[in-house]
Amino acid sequence: MAFRNSEGLKMKANPRDVRTGTYYMDGDIAAGYGALAAGCRFIGGYPITPSTEAAESFARIAPQSGAVFVQMEDELASVASIMGASWSGVKTMTITSGPGYSLMMEAIGLGAMMEAPFVILNIQRGGPSTGVPTKTGQADMMQSRWGSHGDYEVIAISPDSPQELFDFMIKAFNLAEKYRCPVMVMSDECVGHMSEKVVVPPAEEIELEPRRIYTGPKEEYLPFKPDQDLVPKMVKAGDGYNLYVSGASHDERGYPIIYQKGKNQSDSTARRLVDKIRLNADKIIELHEEKLDDAEVVVVSYGITSRVAVRGIELARKKGIKVGKLRLVTVWPFPDQRISELAAKVKAFVVPEINYGQVVYDVERCSHGEANVVLVPHGGAGVHDPEDILEAIEYAATEKKKIRKVIIRKTRLEKKVFGGGLK
């Protein structure tokens, strides 16, 4: 994906921000490096296992680049402060995990409403509630899409390696600037705490999306007047534009419509907020596909699970099953169309997730009854046993009937814990 803003301007990363080199580092630290390379100037954060290393790595390297890490009093403050910083003209993000993410829910709606570009890095852990803080999970996926009240759309991307945590931070900032919406990097403890080779490229190889800055006459500026692609242009606070930016439903001037006369005043705010993502979905969505040409069974996965699935796919291929891999790099917006196309072609989808079924329901929805959908669940605090995925693939390849529900596999773990599985 080439990152160009609406004027076709290209921007490179600032060499001061890029610690070029080859490292052996964990995903969290790579994320901190990635954020700085992307030009992030402000992180308001709050420590939470297993995401703290990302904040720590940023705090160590930020001051030399004129960026700042401030540890706020709680997650509510963290996310509110980055929205303020975003409107003051800098790139911002916050870093958290499940419980902190839950606290940010109200502000995510505010971010969507104010169309402040910002990034949230969520290193998921086992939930619900405090759950298993030190171990992995993928159970915040639906929350990232639906967690705040009212209608809005976000972009969520899911990296599967420390290298991708670096790369995806840059991608996330670019998407945030381009679509002016909250962008979630939904990683997990496993990727966050996994140490691997991370290559930080030279600055000139990193392309950044510049902010969509308004350049016309001051008096004509309307903060929420959308461009062709439904995304409005932005200015900085303090530049004399006499901004009125509100979290209440507003018109193009930003004025709340609640106090305006006339009950039938149409409330188009939320409509545009969802449309700007839905109608641009094709441009946003990125998928990694492997061996799909002849596939009868497709394994749909994201994040760390897509790496575990590789083993299951290899084993199945060895047994002669035609199985392909579809990795959701972008989880939200969901690739409805691609899944729908595949459903018409293949027998079944196998969806391993480290949760008890979240994204699988969207796969089911988009397959329109044309392909079976098999879920390989995992409660968290660990990753799948590839054998479970293999068995699910084998089952999916042999099942002849069209089954109108998500077929939930009993995993080895479940059988072990509940002696044959839950009833």
Of these, 93, 119, 145, 171, which contacts another protein (CB under 8 A)? 145
**Minimum distance of another protein from residue 5's CB (angstroms):** 16
Of these, 11, 19, 289, 361, which contacts another protein (CB under 8 A)? 361
Contact 160, 138 (CB under 8 A): no
Q: Which of 306, 304, 298 is nearest to 322 (CA)?
A: 298
Cβ neighbourhood burial of 266 (10 Å; 0-12, 13-18, 19+)? exposed
Check binding of 355 to another protein (CB under 8 A): yes
Q: Which is nearer to another protein, 164 or 189 (CB)?
A: 189
Check binding of 210 to another protein (CB under 8 A): no
Contact 148, 105 (CB under 8 A): yes
Q: Which is nearer to another protein, 144 or 330 (CB)?
A: 144
**Minimum distance of another protein from residue 290's CB (angstroms):** 25
Contact 248, 258 (CB under 8 A): yes
The residue range among 171-179, 226-234, 310-318, 411-419 that interacts with another protein, by the rule CB under 8 A, is 411-419
Subset of residues 284 to 343 that bind another protein, contact rule: CB under 8 A:
336, 340
Of these, 255, 281, 317, 399, which contacts another protein (CB under 8 A)? 255
Q: Which is nearer to another protein, 124 or 158 (CB)?
A: 124
Rounded to 10 deg, the angle between the 269-278 and 105-114 helix axes is 90
Q: Which is nearer to another protein, 210 or 290 (CB)?
A: 210
The pair of structure tokens assigned to 220 is 């004509």
Check binding of 150 to another protein (CB under 8 A): yes
Cβ neighbourhood burial of 326 (10 Å; 0-12, 13-18, 19+)? buried
Check binding of 394 to another protein (CB under 8 A): no
Measured CA to CA, the distance from residue 65 to residue 8 in angstroms comes to 27
Contact 294, 322 (CB under 8 A): yes
Q: What is the pattern of x (binds another protein, CB under 8 A) and - over residues 164-203?
A: ----------------------------------------
Q: Which is nearer to another protein, 143 or 174 (CB)?
A: 143
Q: Which is nearer to another protein, 135 or 409 (CB)?
A: 135
Measured CA to CA, the distance from residue 358 to residue 301 in angstroms comes to 11
Of these, 36, 77, 155, 181, which contacts another protein (CB under 8 A)? 77
Applying CB under 8 A, the site for another protein has a residue count of: 136
Long-range contacts of 239-243 (CB under 8 A, 24+ apart): 241/214, 243/87
**Minimum distance of another protein from residue 327's CB (angstroms):** 22
**Minimum distance of another protein from residue 129's CB (angstroms):** 4
Q: What are phi and psi of 193, to 5 degrees?
A: -105, 15
Check binding of 15 to another protein (CB under 8 A): no
* Angle, CA 401 vertex, CA 397 and CA 402 arms, to 5°: 95
Q: What is the pattern of x (binds another protein, CB under 8 A) and - over residues 264-283?
A: xxxxx-xx-xx---------
Q: Which is nearer to another protein, 74 or 227 (CB)?
A: 74
Of these, 18, 25, 38, 110, which contacts another protein (CB under 8 A)? 110
Of these, 99, 201, 210, 226, which contacts another protein (CB under 8 A)? 99
Q: Which is nearer to another protein, 76 or 203 (CB)?
A: 76
Contact 145, 362 (CB under 8 A): no
H or E segment at 21? strand 21-26
The letter for the amino acid at 303 is G
CA atoms within 13 A on the CB side of 20: 10
Check binding of 20 to another protein (CB under 8 A): no
Of these, 29, 37, 114, 200, which contacts another protein (CB under 8 A)? 114
Subset of residues 36 to 55 that bind another protein, contact rule: CB under 8 A:
41-42, 44-49, 52-53, 55
Q: Please count the other Cβ atoms lying within 10 Å of the Cβ belonging to residue 183.
A: 29
Q: Which of 289, 280, 264, 398 is nearest to 339 (CA)?
A: 289
CA dihedral 412→329→105→362, nearest 10 degrees, is -60
Subset of residues 115 to 144 that bind another protein, contact rule: CB under 8 A:
124, 126-135, 137, 139-140, 142-143
